[in-house]
Amino acid sequence: MIGKIAKSLLGLAVVGVVVSFGYRQGYDDRDAGREMRLARSAAAQEGDDARKGSYYPNTEQLADDEMRVIALGTGMPNLTKAQKSSGWFVELGNGDVFLFDIGSGSMENLHALRPDFAKVDKVFVSHLHTDHVGDFGALLVGGWLTGRYTPLHVYGPSGAERPLGTAAFVEHQIQSFAWDLSGRSGRLPDAGGRVEVHEFDYRVVNNVVYEANGVTITSWPAIHALDGPVSYKLEWNGLSFVFGGDTYPNSWFIENAAGADLVIHECFLPPAALAKYFGWGLAQATNVSTRIHTEPTAFGKIMSAVRPRMAVGYHSVLIPELAQEILEGVRQTYDGPLTLASDLYVWNITKDRIEVREAVVAERAYPSSVTPDYNSAPRTGFTETSEFIQSGKWAEYTPPPMPERR
């Protein structure tokens, strides 16, 4: 025990030295404060032994063959402070990053991780419920403001009719933010405000929807509420990540997720709990829990068939008594590796091991800093307020002079 404490203290001491050395090394007058604010230059670690029990964002370099997945949201449409709606951040050792779902509130946790937003330019949505896409506007504008100076790419399924597909969703979201987006023109980089939609046919099984830089992402149909929802598998460097989205237990999932490394599937509230905690009638609760979603014993049955290296369940309210009930449900049908995920859980995945930790983030944090390329990216289309509105400026206030542009 004493040895373990000494070792972890040593680990922290080593990290402290590396970080402060890096800071001094990068310090000069012009960059005063910048190195601190960036906080995304990971320090090299002294091998796995130096890894801390918790994950402190931007303090660990991913190994070339490593994948890191962080839960940005694991809750319900009626999100809570502790559990936002569905969102998943996937980082690869080759430097690529991906978002899967961007449900309501999930952007809060993404900002808390302080990633390099210049790289956060791809989101794969499982379906168009607000608890899976509700933070689209926050990603579009918040990511643009925080470092993205290239278009945002949105990958998502078609629907039974065009108005029910991802392209129509994005078009209408953009239209509804016309005032917001117009008002930022000329102030923020032009390209960062653009969106490119990649809508694909939800019905195609094992559909390759993305292929670049050694990463392949495929989709297949899910069974949930209306036609359209899908599940995804990301494959890279011999590692595989599966994200189920919302679905009734389906055979495509069992086939395509079989043997994958990290397999995320909803693990919904059981009917009686849904009725009790939401105040619903048992019939409605049973319908939602077992006909539209996947309740815990069904989740366990799926994972027993899939046999992943790590099964991840989410999409509930993990108050203690409910978490226990969900866990007992899963364990009736599955005895393999399991995480019942809450927000900011972190999985580090290599071929040798999967490590599960929690991220430690600040309640209040600086946003990620933008880069020099962001600052020099073209900006056009600036519109001033009208002469009428200008005429209302209070004559008793004079703003400070504008600095010379650097």
Looking at the Cβ atoms of 91 and 131, the one nearer to Zn ion is: 131
CB-wise, 16 or 163, nearer to Zn ion? Answer: 163
Which C-beta is closer to Zn ion: that of 122 or that of 293?
A: 293
**CB of 107 vs Zn ion, minimal distance in Å:** 17
Of 60 and 131, nearer to Zn ion (C-beta) is: 131
CB of 72 or CB of 354, closer to Zn ion? 72
- The footprint of Zn ion (CB under 5 A) covers 129, 131, 246
Nearer to Zn ion, 121 or 246 (CB): 246
Shortest Cβ distance from residue 65 to Zn ion (Å)? Answer: 32
Integer Cα distance of 367 and 107 in angstroms: 12
Q: How far is the CB of 79 from Zn ion (least distance, A)?
A: 11
Nearest to 243 by CA among 199, 270, 209, 201: 209
In the complex, the smallest distance separating the C-beta of residue 293 from Zn ion, rounded to whole angstroms, is 8
Q: Which is nearer to Zn ion, 19 or 138 (CB)?
A: 138
Maximum C-alpha span of the chain: 73
Name which of 267 and 346 has its Cβ closer to Zn ion. Answer: 267
Q: How far is the CB of 295 from Zn ion (least distance, A)?
A: 14
- The three-state DSSP-derived secondary structure of the chain is CHHHHHHHHHHHHHHHHHHHHHHHHCCCHHHCCHHHHHCCCCCCCCCHHHCCCCECCCCCCCCCCCEEEEEEECCCCCCCCCCCCCEEEEEECCCCEEEEEECCCHHHHHHHHCCCCCCCCEEECCCCCHHHHCCHHHHHHHHHHCCCCCCEEEEEECCCCHHHCHHHHHHHHHHHCHHHHHHHECCECHHHHCEEEEEECCCCCCEEEEEECCEEEEEEECCECECCCEEEEEEECCEEEEECCCCCCCHHHHHHHCCCCEEEEECCCCHHHHHHHHCCCHHHHHHHHHHHCCCHHHHHHHHHHHCCCEEEEECCCCCHHHHHHHHHHHHCCCCCCEEECCCCEEEEECCCCEEEEEECCCCCCCCCCCCHHHHHCCCCCCCCCCHHHHCCCCCCCCCCCCCCCC
Closer residue to Zn ion, CB minimum distance, 68 or 84: 84
Q: How far is the CB of 222 from Zn ion (least distance, A)?
A: 9
At its nearest, how many Å lie between Zn ion and the CB of residue 86?
6
